[in-house]
Amino acid sequence: MSNTFNPYDNYLEVMERAAKMLGLAPNDYVALKQPERELKVSVPVEMDDGRIQVFEGYRVQHSSSRGPCKGGLRYHQDVNIDEVKALAAWMSLKCAVVNIPYGGGKGAVKVDPSKLSVHELKNLTRRYTAMILPLIGPERDIPAPDVGTNAEVMGWIMDTYSMFMGYTVPGIVTGKPLDIGGSLGRREATGRGVMFVVREYLHRKGIPMIGTRVAVQGMGNVGGTAAQLLSNEGCRIVAASDVSGGLYNPKGLKISEIVAHLSTRGNKLSDFEQAGAKHITNEELLACDTDILLPAALENQITAQNAAKIKASIIVEGANGPTTAEADAILEQMGKKVVPDVLANAGGVVVSYFEWVQNIQSLMWDEEEINRNLEKIMIRAFNEVWEATTSHDTTMRMGAYMVAIGRITKAKKIRGVFP
Ligand code: NAD
């Protein structure tokens, strides 16, 4: 599905509604309506066949009021500046929801990484890093993986930045390989956070995890890990998909087999068969018979066109911005409950924060400590969002936005407007 909606308009609409619900004056939140900085770069790369190809890239810093900007780097052929601006703004909110000392940023390059050789991707990453160098740094803006990038790409960024500085700077990126300062538990952190949030939500509603049916759109880092961990906790994963399509089995899919198949670069779900499972489209997955729908692919997947077809009563947003504002209103009218992205997928940035703290202190935590601290922060954030939601008798999205905007505007007020 293409991005026919502007996700930045989506952010603005919800942010303004939450600010008004909090009783804020326009002066309190006017600065949140646009990013602090936007950098557009044209990145030349010498391709393997000798051609020079120029890729468009961006780095956007939405807010640094609560700390350095933090946010992933996306490689995708359809990215545009409005998407990057929205993703950066959502990072400001997410870091505030989980109360870690960061603002929000995001970067992207308009490229289909599957079409580039490893050598070309490495050169693209190094040149892009050099071109956004004036903005980034462990105290300024710290990239991390997102769609289309991974630990290997973060390693190239870390090395490039370090070469410019003349010494090794592990804290410049998070989500790095373990051998160069990455953190245990980072790769699984977003999916693990999703699992904690699902567990807390079901607990509040008195629904047992065992047997609860889940459909996962996008079996990548977030969706694949969440599916595996939810399945370990007794949930029945009835549907799972990637960009090529999905599989459906009302009795439950064997998730380990699917994750193992997709772990090989180039493998797709459309090539995979499992006894009892039938192939479905991504549209069919969104409308399938399930208790929980977990969109974990891209933004703008649940729209005014398909929202009314959703059978799941709970939607947990593993992806950033998977629901358009129009679709959100339809879901609310239908009595569906949405656990919003800025809470549901915040586990990744929480462990990124742990990674950065370890890098700065030159310390290494064990995995148990990381997972325990992640769980503590996710439960605390869930409870705070729940409290804001119930006390204002609103949706969890509004509850989360109110928690976040309350914190960011408070920081802004304390700091004042320079000069
Ligand atoms: P990924 O690249 O590892 O996986 C994306 C998955 O979505 C893949 O399975 C891909 O095949 C599938 N997909 C892509 N386009 C699709 C489409 N049109 N329809 C159905 N499936 C499609 O990416 P990821 O890191 O898992 O990120 C997924 C989402 O989660 C993104 O919105 C990202 O911003 C968000 N997120 C990621 C992290 C993180 O730590 N990786 C943290 C927070 C939020």
Query: How does pLDDT run across 11-58, given as a tens digit for each residue?
Result: 999 999 999 999 999 999 999 999 999 999 999 999 999 999 999 999
| Cβ proximity of 18 and 407 under 8 Å | no
Q: What is the DSSP string of 73-142?
A: EEE-TT--HHHHHHHHHHHHHHHHHTT-S-EEEEEEE---GGGS-HHHHHHHHHHHHHHTTTT-BTTTEE
Query: Which residue from 190, 284, 285 has its CB within 8 A of the most atoms of ligand 1, so it is best to mutate?
Result: 190
Q: Where in the chain is the domain with CATH 3.40.50.720?
A: 189-344
Closest residue by Cα to residue 215 from 189, 236, 194: 236
Round to whole Å and give the CA distance between 331 and 314. 10
Instruction: Judge if the beta carbon of residue 352 lies within 6 A of ligand 1.
Output: no
Supply the residue whose CA is at minimum distance from atom 8 of ligand 1: 220
Query: How does pLDDT run across 337-373, given as a tens digit for each residue?
Result: 999 999 999 999 999 999 999 999 999 999 999 999 9
389 CA from centroid of ligand 1 (Å): 27
Q: Which of 70, 85, 106, 122 is catalytic?
A: 106
Query: How does pLDDT run across 58-112, given as a tens digit for each residue?
Result: 999 999 999 999 999 999 999 999 999 999 999 999 999 999 999 999 999 999 9
361 CA from centroid of ligand 1 (Å): 31
pLDDT at residue 4, as a whole number: 58
CATH H superfamily, domain 189-344: NAD(P)-binding Rossmann-like Domain (3.40.50.720)
| Cβ proximity of 357 and 373 under 8 Å | no
Residue 217 has pLDDT above 80, yes or no: yes
**CATH class as words, domain 36-169:** alpha beta
Burial 158-185 (b: 16+ CB within 10 A, else e): bbbbeeeeeeebbbbbbbbeeebbbbbb
pTM, two decimals, is: 0.96
Round to whole Å and give the CA distance between 179 and 267. 27
pLDDT-derived band of residue 1, with 50, 70 and 90 as boundaries? very low
* CB neighbours of residue 237 within 10 Å: 26
Q: Where in the chain is the domain with CATH 3.40.50.10860?
A: 36-169
Q: Tell me the CA distances in angstroms from 100 to 69, 94, 193, 354, one per residue in order.
A: 11, 9, 15, 10
Amino acid, single-letter form, for residue 39: L
Q: Is 337 a catalytic residue?
A: no
Is residue 182 helix, strand or coil? coil
* Ligand 1 atom with least separation from CA of 341: 44
Round to whole Å and give the CA distance between 343 and 398. 11
Residue 27 C-beta-side C-alpha neighbours within 13 Å: 3
Round to whole Å and give the CA distance between 395 and 390. 8
Q: What is the DSSP string of 150-173?
A: -HHHHHHHHHHHHHHHTS--GGG-
Q: What is the DSSP string of 373-412?
A: HHHHHHHHHHHHHHHHHHHTT--HHHHHHHHHHHHHHHHH
Q: Which two tokens stand for residue 133?
A: 């160098």
